[in-house]
């Protein structure tokens, strides 16, 4: 095992549940990186947890008239459920109201005080005379002195982003009773951040490889001059202050939430002393994943606390993402923009969400999220390219059966594919080592596109008709590509990768190595389709497979037959003009495709309850057949659309056009809808046209 590393994700407030912006900002990149380190053999300790104190929680509790503990428990549970569904894992997920955290916080602050970095000072705070309490910054509302926004709070203007002191607000009021607060002196403890101005600047300047956003935020923050920060509040919700005279105050949440990382490591190890021992190792590397709005707390203030504490190595990397915007606006629960994760998870497979977020990861710049774009990418890139490639390659391998290495004769395309696999794996490792998660993901996706192109150009189905060793080489290379995608995919889409690896015979995780060994094909079961597409559109057309039970003539109609059809749970009769092309005997028992939601029509005195699909050329009529189908009444899928069965008129039916088009060297029927071809598919096998008709025929 390689060395010990820590990976942390910022502790979210639990005044509401997580939304997609949080997942994109910190938690998914955190999880991807943690998985990468584990698969590379590092001894990883990872943690995060619920930041349960602070005024966002108490404000909500007071508004809803319930204890803050109820709010905290509710959202802690919901967030854990979200992480579980998203396959985002932690070695420890702490709660800052826990006994261990309170103990660790107390001790940490005592050390800071003993080292001379905590002092007492008076400050002016708003005081509500009606309630007889000091008001926390967020308990005061007023007009922003900067932009004039009416509901700025005492810590920050939500509109222009300016941070401020409550005393700067114009016409401040108490948010609970709208009374005008007085500003009174109150005693608080302060952390002497100013002592570390030079050391922190030096630290930031030594981190040239950090992301640009982190560096520029941090440098600006130092350049503006560091300020000592209050570490206590006039509140009753929070961690007790371990010093005399502070019994009715609490620790300010920003400082104890940061100490939560120590609590995380201590909970994993089951021992606080061991946590400090690891932290004391000057070669310790650890990574913080945080949102953009949390950068300076992690890059400046937290390192300042660690220096003040002593014997603690500073963070190796602070990785902060920009914002994921929903139609150009910052995701925000309070403004009601964006999506709650629970809503997303109800609608979409979690691997789709991971894919969609990674595709648009706001690593260097803000990025936009739209549902339409997300669904489209999942369908056309994840499913049509990656999923389709995996399915084609593994289905061919399964049909071929076991191959041994001495039965393989590679050609140039196979050699190229091998090189491409090696270089992609090595690129992914290098990119991930540098915490460039978006680039690594794109490299992975490019390899999937490459696989798709490889198989199309290599045409194993042709090779396998002629030359065994050549055919084996194509199939073996296809499996290698799939295997490489699955092994590297373990970090991005863990559930999907796990399924593919298990088809290939691997029940455990596979270590990610540059010199990956490739298995020869040993598929024991037919691979299933990896994903079902996201379907939103409905189409009013129902096609079903029917078995022809009986064929009879219609008096005086020399082109028409009366067909008795079995549809599984029902029977029906249709009139069809195929008498000149098919004998009665040749039709009996055939499985055909029938439109079953067509309004009944009377033809030559006979009621026809539907219409069969057939194409016509100069040689006559060609039926659409489903010989592999064993279930009468089987539904025919039309592209990725949902079908419904409201009765349609023949005029409405004629708005669809059904034509024959070429697919994988076969001529197959397809439905054209808004000029896009939609393939007709059945679960049990292939649909094809009787005879050898040409491409481009219209089906009637």
Chain contacts with Zn ion (rule: CB under 5 A): 128, 130-131, 144, 146-147, 149, 157, 159-160, 174, 176-177
> What are the tokens at 209?
């490889």
Q: Which is nearer to Zn ion, 160 or 650 (CB)?
A: 160
φ/ψ of residue 65, rounded to 5? 65, 35
Which long-range CB contacts under 8 A does 400-405 form with residues at least 24 apart? Answer: 400/464, 400/471, 400/472, 400/475, 400/521, 402/520, 402/521, 402/522, 403/472, 403/475, 403/476, 403/520, 403/521, 404/520, 405/520
Query: H or E element: which one contains 262?
Result: helix 253-269
Q: How far is the CB of 368 from Zn ion (least distance, A)?
A: 24
Which residue carries 């990725």 as its tokens? 640
The minimum distance between CB 63 and Zn ion, in angstroms, equals 13
Residue 305 near residue 2 (C-beta atoms within 8 A)? no
In the complex, minimum distance from the CB of residue 161 to Zn ion, in angstroms, rounded to a whole number: 7
Of the candidates 622, 621, 624, 603, which has an alpha carbon nearest to the alpha carbon of residue 613? Answer: 624
- Nearest residue (CB) to Zn ion, 131 versus 617: 131
DSSP 144: -
Positive or negative: CA dihedral 448, 453, 456, 457: negative
Residue with tokens 């997580």: 18
Comparing CB distances to Zn ion, the nearer of 145 and 577 is: 145
Nearest approach, Cβ of residue 131 and Zn ion (Å):
4
Q: CB under 8 Å to 270, separation ≥6 — which residues? A: none
Query: Between residues 54 and 142, which has the closer beta carbon with respect to Zn ion?
Result: 142
The residue (of 177 and 182) whose beta carbon lies closer to Zn ion is 177
Q: Torsions phi, psi of 513, nearest 5?
A: -125, 150
Q: Which is nearer to Zn ion, 180 or 349 (CB)?
A: 180
Distance of closest approach, residue 149 Cβ to Zn ion, in angstroms:
4
123 neighbors 288 (Cβ within 8 angstroms)? no
Rounded to an integer, what distance in angstroms lies between the CA atom of residue 310 and that of residue 287? 19
Q: How far is CA 157 from CA 161, 162, 292, in A?
A: 5, 5, 17
> Cα angle at 449 between 38 and 23, to 5 degrees?
45
Least CB distance to Zn ion at residue 295 (A): 21
- For the bound state, the minimum distance from the C-beta of residue 18 to Zn ion, rounded and expressed in Å, comes to 27
- Give 73 or 131: the residue with its C-beta nearer to Zn ion: 131
SS3 letters for 161-181? CCECCHHHCEEEEECCCCCCC
Choice between 169 and 487, CB closer to Zn ion:
169
For the CB of residue 335, give the shortest distance to Zn ion in the complex, in Å.
15
Smallest gap from Cβ 310 to Zn ion, in A, equals 40
Least distance to Zn ion, CB of residue 122, Å:
22
Separation of alpha carbons 695 and 674, rounded Å: 19
Nearer to Zn ion, 161 or 685 (CB): 161
| Element at 464 (helix H, strand E) | helix 460-466
Nearer Cβ to Zn ion, position 174 or 493? 174
Mode of pairing for the β-strands spanning 285-291 and 317-321 = parallel
């Amino acid at each position: 095992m390689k060395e010990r590393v820590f990976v942390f994700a910022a502790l979210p407030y639990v005044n509401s549940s997580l939304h997609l912006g949080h997942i994109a900002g910190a938690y998914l990149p955190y999880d991807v990186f943690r998985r990468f380190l584990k698969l590379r053999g590092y001894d990883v300790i990872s943690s995060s947890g619920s930041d349960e104190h602070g005024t966002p929680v108490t404000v909500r509790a007071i508004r809803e008239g319930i204890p803050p503990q109820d709010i905290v428990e509710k959202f802690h549970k919901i967030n854990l459920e979200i992480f579980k569904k998203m396959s985002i894992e932690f070695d420890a997920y702490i709660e800052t109201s826990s006994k261990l955290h309170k103990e660790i916080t107390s001790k940490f602050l005592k050390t800071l005080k003993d080292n001379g970095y905590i002092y007492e000072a008076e400050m002016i705070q708003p005081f509500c005379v009606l309630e007889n309490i000091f008001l926390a910054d967020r308990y005061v509302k007023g007009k922003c002195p900067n932009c004039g926004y009416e509901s700025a709070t005492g810590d920050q203007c939500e509109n222009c982003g300016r941070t401020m002191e409550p005393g700067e607000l114009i016409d401040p009021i108490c948010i609970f009773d709208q009374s005008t607060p007085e500003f009174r002196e109150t005693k608080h403890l302060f952390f002497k951040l100013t002592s570390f101005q030079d050391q922190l600047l030096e630290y930031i300047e030594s981190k040239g490889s950090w992301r640009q956003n982190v560096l520029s935020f941090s440098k600006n923050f130092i350049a503006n001059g560091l300020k000592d920060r209050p570490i206590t509040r006039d509140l009753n919700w929070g961690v007790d202050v371990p010093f005399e005279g502070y019994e009715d105050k609490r620790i300010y949440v920003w400082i104890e939430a940061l100490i939560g990382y120590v609590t995380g490591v201590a909970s994993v190890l089951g021992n606080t002393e061991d946590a400090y021992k690891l932290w004391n190792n000057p070669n310790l590397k650890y990574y913080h994943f945080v949102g953009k709005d949390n950068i300076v707390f992690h890059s400046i203030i937290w390192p300042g606390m660690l220096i003040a504490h002593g014997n603690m190595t500073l963070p190796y990397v602070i990785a902060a993402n920009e914002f994921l915007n929903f139609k150009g606006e910052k995701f925000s629960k309070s403004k009601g923009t964006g999506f709650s994760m629970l809503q997303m998870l109800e609608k979409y497979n979690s691997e789709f969400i991971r894919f969609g977020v990674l595709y648009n990861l706001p690593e260097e710049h803000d990025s936009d999220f739209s549902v339409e774009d997300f669904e489209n990418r999942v369908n056309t890139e994840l499913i049509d390219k990656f999923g389709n490639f995996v399915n084609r390659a593994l289905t061919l391998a399964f049909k071929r059966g076991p191959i041994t290495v001495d039965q393989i004769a590679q050609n140039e395309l196979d050699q190229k594919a091998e090189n491409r696999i090696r270089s992609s794996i090595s690129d992914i490792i290098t990119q991930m080592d540098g915490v460039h998660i978006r680039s690594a993901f794109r490299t992975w996706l490019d390899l999937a596109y490459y696989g798709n192109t490889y198989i199309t150009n290599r045409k194993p189905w042709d090779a396998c008709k002629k030359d065994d060793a050549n055919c084996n080489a194509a199939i073996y290379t296809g499996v290698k590509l799939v295997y490489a995608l699955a092994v590297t995919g373990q970090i991005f889409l863990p559930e999907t990768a796990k399924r593919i690896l298990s088809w290939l015979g691997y029940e455990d995780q596979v270590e990610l190595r540059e010199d990956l060994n490739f298995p020869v094909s040993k598929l024991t079961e037919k691979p299933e389709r990896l994903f079902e597409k996201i379907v939103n559109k409905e189409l009013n057309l129902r096609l079903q497979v029917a078995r022809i039970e009986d064929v009879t003539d219609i008096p005086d109609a020399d082109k028409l037959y009366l067909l008795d059809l079995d549809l599984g749970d029902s029977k029906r009769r249709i009139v069809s003009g195929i008498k000149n092309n098919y004998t009665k005997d040749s039709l009996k028992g055939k499985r055909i495709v029938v439109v079953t939601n067509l309004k009944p029509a009377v033809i030559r005195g006979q009621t026809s309850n539907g219409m069969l699909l057939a194409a016509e050329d100069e040689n006559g009529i060609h039926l659409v057949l489903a010989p592999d189908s064993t279930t009468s009444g089987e539904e025919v899928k039309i592209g990725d659309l949902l079908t419904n069965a409201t009765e349609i008129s023949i005029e409405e039916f004629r708005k669809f056009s059904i034509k024959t088009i070429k697919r994988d060297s076969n001529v197959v029927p397809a439905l054209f809808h808004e000029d896009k071809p939609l393939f007709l598919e059945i679960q049990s096998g292939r649909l094809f046209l009787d005879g050898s008709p040409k491409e481009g025929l219209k089906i009637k």
